Every structure is written in C-alpha cells, then in structure tokens.
Chains A and B, each alone.
Chain A
Amino acid sequence: MITAGVDVGAKFAKVVILKDGQVSARAKALVGFDVLKSASDVFETALKDAGLSRGDIQRVVATGMGRNAVLQKPPINADEAVSEVVADAAGAFQVVPTVKTVIDVGAEEGRGIRVEGGRVKDFVINERCAAGAGTFVEAMARALEVKVEDMGPLSLKSTNTIPMNAQCCVFAESEVVSLIHSKISKEDVSKAIHDAIAGRISSMVLRVGVEKDVLLMGGVALNPGFRPPLEKELHTDIIVPEFPEFVSALGAAVIAANPAR
C-alpha cells in the first residue's frame, strides 16, 4: 500500500510517502502565504522523488496547523485530517517503538505527549505564547545578529549559566539586548536562550510526566543546542531521530495506511 502524510506546519510543509511501511520519499519547503500551493509544491516534489503520481497514492492524511487547507482540495486531495498530537504519537511509535514520551517543538508550538503503543495517553500544548518554540529562537538569532542555524553550535561553546527570566518573546528580546550591552558573549547569550527554552518546554512536559524512552522531534530538534539543556532539565536521555522534522508527516502516512485504526 502506498500512502502519504502531509504536515502543513506554521513554517514548513513536510511530506512523507510510505510504501509498504517503508519511507520512499521525503520533501519539505517553506510555507508561503498561499498554503495550499506551498504544500502542493512539496507534495509534487515528493511524488517526483518517489517516481509516483497522485493516482498511485491510495490514501493521504494531512496534519499540522494548515491541514484543513489541503483536506479534499486538489491537487493533494487529502482524505482525512488529524491533529498534530495524534500524528506525532503515530510517527514517534513508528520511529522508536519503545517510545513513551514525545516532545515536539515546532515553529510556533511545543507539545508534550504521553504515548502507549502509538496512541495518545495524555498531552499538553503551550498556551498562546510561542516563547518556547522555534520562532523564539529565530527572533533571538536576529537580536544576536547570527544565523539561526548557528545558534545551537554557538551555545555549545559556552560553559556559563546566565539566567534569563523572560518568558515572553518580546521581553526576552529586550533581555538579550541588555545582555549584549553588558558585554556578555554571544556564546553565553545563546546558551542562556537555549536554557530558557528548555526550562519552558520541560516545565510544560512535566505536567504530563516523563517516562523513557523520550523522543524529541520537530524542527527545533535539529538544533544541537537544545537537547543538552532539555536532558538536564528532565534528568533523562533524549532520543533525537534522523529527520526529526518529518516524524509528524510520517505519522500521518502511517495513519493513512491504517484507516480502521
């Protein structure tokens, strides 16, 4: 059976094509103003990489905050839309069958999910403020005048702990500016930012409890500066799978392959 999962996130659209349980293609691209077009372009890329056409895909399941934009709308014509939480659980279970706790940090949302056999037991999502998510790192990178992909490696060079109290993205930027004016190095500020995000995410995840194995996914999992402070906060090892940003799309593809789940 050939299925596809389309994860239309706040920043990126990701597509995974699954053939008999094996990934045959992955593709991602930025989501523009026209969400359907952005997602459709990524979908086309994935089809091309897999050497398939839309007609070859038996079922498509969409997830992500823009999932309804592609639900039963050509050319993707997703058959079903599921929430990120459900897709995350299914995807994480596919990647690490022993997973019990999933931490998904994307551009605008952070989620903690307790999983049992690929199904959601309990979950928590950050309320309103995106201060613990990827957009926050981007905003802080701008304030530090460094590339966002350099933020993680930069933070790993620091061994100092600079407390950052701000929980709000706007106020945190002011705090970063103050730290810069206080001649704190970019490495230390970057670490302080990652520590603050880890603190925020861990306090949220602890609300549903943490049990091993713990899997970190979402775009922020690509940031090498994020896992160490999170492991420290949660007092546990954390698995970051290959292609962590595709886990939700993978989950959607798995759900597509099991419509009677």
Chain B
Amino acid sequence: MTQLQVKEYPSEPLKCWEQAKNLRKNYYEDYLRAHEKGGLRWAGGAWTFSAIPAGLGEDVYCITGEPYGATVAFFKDFAARCHDATEAAGFPRTLCAYMRNYWGSILLDKYILTDGTVLDGYPAPDFIWQDHICCSHGKWYQLVRWLEKKKGKEVPMYCVDVSVGYPTDSDIEEYKVNYLMEQLNDGIEWLEKVTGRKYNDRLFYEAVWNEIKATSLWAEICAFNQAVPAPLDEKTMYSLYVMGTLMKHKPECVSFYQTLRDEVAGRVKRGIAAVPNERYRVITDTQPPWGFLKIFREMEKYGAVSVGSLYTFGLIGMWEYKPDGTWSPRSIPPRKPQTREEALRAIVEWTIHKPEWAHFYLPELKTKMMTDIVKQWKVDAVLLHYNRGCEGLSLHIAENRFGLIQAGVPVFPFEGNMGDERDFDFAGTLARLTAFFESVGLKKLRE
C-alpha cells in the first residue's frame, strides 16, 4: 500500500504514567489489606458521596463497583468466568455488565488486581455506601448484601436517593438540596452506628474540598484537549480519569491531577501530540468495550484521534456554562467548608451538577453538551457506542444521534458492550469504522 505523507507532530509518553499506574494498583491493594492495618473496607459506586465515609478515619478504604467491573472486563478470561458464574446463578446477561462482573467475582470468591493477578477470596466490605441514580445502582448492592449473607457475612447498606432532577438554567430548588443533605446527615449517624467509630468532621471537610478540587481539575485537564494537536488521546485518558472514579475525595487524587494538569499544560505549550499523525478528531460516547481498546489504535492508522467524550469529560469532571456560552471547568466555591452543614451543602450542590446525570432526565441536555464539545474541541465526528452493557448511560442514545445529525455532525454508531465481549464484534465494528472513515474521505496511512 502506498504510504500517504501527512504532517507529523512531535509526541512523547506521559511522564506521570507510572504514577497513575501505581495509584490505581495501590488502591485495590489497600482495600484488600485494610483489615491487616486495622482499617475498614466499604463498597459503593463511583458516583457515591465518597467524602462522607472519609470522616470515619484515614484508614477507611473503598472499592467502587463500576471501575472494578471494568477491570474485570479488561481481563477477558476472568470476565468470561464471572459471566458464567452470574448466569449459572440465574441472572440474565441483559443486566448491567459491570454489575455482573462484580457479582461474578463474589460468586467465584476471587479478587482481581490491576495486573490481572487473580487472588482467592473476595474481600467483603464492612459496609455499603451507595447512591441510586441509574436503574441498577441500588439493586446492585442489595444483591451484594444477599450474596455476602449467603457466605455468612452481614453487610449493612445505606443508599442515597439522588433522583432530584438536573438543574438547567434555573437555580437548584432548595427542597432538592435539603432532601439530599438530610439523607447524607442521617447517613453519618448510620455510619457511626454500624462502624462503632466517632465521626471526624474535620476529615469530612477535607474530603469534600478534595473532591471539589479533583473533579474541577479533571475538567481543566480535559479542556486542554481543545488544542490541536490534542495532548491526550481518549485511550490514555481512560487510565487517568479513573482516579476520579476511585478516590475523588482523597488528597492523592488532587495531587495527581495537579501534576497531570501541569504536564498537559506543558504539552500544549510545546505542541506535543498524543497521536503524531492527528488529522481527524472524534469523540466517543459511553464506556468503551474495555476488552477491545485496541480499536483506538486502529483509528490512529487513519490519523483519527479520539479527543475524549462527554463520558470521559463529565463522568467525574465538573463543568458549567460560562456567561460567554462556553462549556468550561466548573469554578470551585470561594472557600473550604467550615461546618458539617456547609460541607454537606457544598458537596450536594457540587454533585447535583454532574454532567453525566443530565441525560437521565433530558436527552436534549446531553445532545447540547455533545454538540458544544464538538464545536469547542474542534471535533469532526462522533462515534456513538450503543452500549448494551449500560442501560443508564445508553439511555436516549439514539435520540442523541438524531440531535447530532440535525446539528450537522457526522455520526458513526456501533453496537457493543463495555463489559461482556460476547456482545462486541471487533472485526465487524472495524470493518464498519473503515467504511465510515473512507466515507468522510480518510485513507489509511499505515498498516
């Protein structure tokens, strides 16, 4: 094949890559070994109000369910065993794929680490601290309780109902804020009761402040990808945003994102590209099929780079519309909370604006954010993953497709599953993607 000559940008690996790997590795190991250090373990989703249990002490470690489900998915052999176990237990394969991976791990009584090491004995949490926004979140952990009970362990559970809608142009209504604050305040009492520990409000304020800073920093990092060439590609971003899904309330997360932010700013200044032959910019939507991330490398053969997605930007990153209409990192409150009430209010008012919550209520809000990303990030096309593994984030996705097309954005939809490889046809998707790239005039630059 004739090699096409295109402009090549300078590129270099991320200097903080090893730091990211170690943070994630230590997270899962800390949870595993928490009891050895006299600490506590808790489980909940990536969106749960994780700053609240932080008030129980500095030796309290959590495991968030979705990232663990994604880790399982990345190791396809182990994921297949988890699917077999959940299906043998009577659960249908149409349920959330992360949830099935997670349950499968418990059913197998195995725990997987980030390097793929599978350990005997699933480390049961001491309590569950969850929130409920998608159709699976609450049920997920009710089942975890049930599964652990069958193994002889009683795991108390607290679930916060966050179904208060998404604020649009108007201010958040006070009763909605109060509804969440009251649940969280009750939850603090509940935590003291089930753990027997005295709650430390100072640690709580710090955790709230960390979460606000970390989630705003991540948005700041994503905003740098508006530069051409993009300093980060989405495949790499998956390994970076994950810190916000694991430990958004912890100082390590803030510190890592500050380091990353500075490095990415430097890359933009020096014109360092994530993908040297960048000539076509796309964004994706929803979680990718984790076992097939090589599809991003295939895209690069055409000079196509994914510069992110509403998912990668807004699952954890916090954003807002500025007076000039730009979608930008959310400004942090003027000062750190000083009282429990202030801290509760701060975290509720912050969290309620999570961009990825918007489309649970109105698909138009998601379409608007996506079309604004297309404009601001200089995006040429959108690849929509019709993700059979996540009902929550796939909600309304076909309507988003229509909205984007109406806005004049080329869209490539593909079916798959973030956590169950049986629902993803790699060769077929690649063939369709090839057709899409050719249809927009791209030719393959290299094999």
Contact = CB atoms under 8 A, between A and B. Distances in A.
B6 interface: no
Contact of B415 (A84, A85, A127): A127
B432 A125 contact: yes
Interface in A116-132: 119-120, 122-125, 127-128
A86 B438 contact: yes
B434 interface: yes
A119 B440 CA distance: 9
B293 interface: no
Contacts of B431: 65, 83
Contacts, number: 38
Nearest to B433: A83
A206 B201 CA distance: 57
A128 B432 CA distance: 11
Nearest to A111: B435
B439 interface: yes
Contacts of B410: 122
Interface string B401-444: 00001000011011100000000010010011011101100000
A72 interface: yes
A123 B435 contact: yes
B435 A84 contact: yes
A125 B425 CA distance: 13
Contacts of B414: 127
Contacts of A84: 435
B439 A120 contact: yes
A156 to B, nearest CB: 33
Contact of B435 (A80, A85, A127, A128): A85
Contacts of B1: 71-72, 80
A180 interface: no
A125 B415 CA distance: 11
Nearest to A121: B439
Contact of A83 (B405, B413, B438): B438
A71 B434 CA distance: 16
Interface in A78-97: 80, 82-86, 89
B56 to A, nearest CB: 47
B415 to A, nearest CB: 5
Given A83-B434, A122-B405, A128 B439 contact: no
Contacts of A80: 1
A128 B415 contact: yes
B425 A85 contact: no
B415 A86 contact: no
B214 to A, nearest CB: 38
A85 B439 contact: yes
A82 B435 CA distance: 8
Given A71-B1, A83-B431, A128-B415, A123 B425 contact: no
Given A83-B439, A122-B411, 4 more contacts: A72-B1, A85-B439, A119-B439, A127-B415
12 contacts: A72-B1, A83-B438, A83-B439, A85-B436, A85-B438, A85-B439, A86-B438, A89-B439, A123-B435, A127-B428, A128-B425, A128-B428
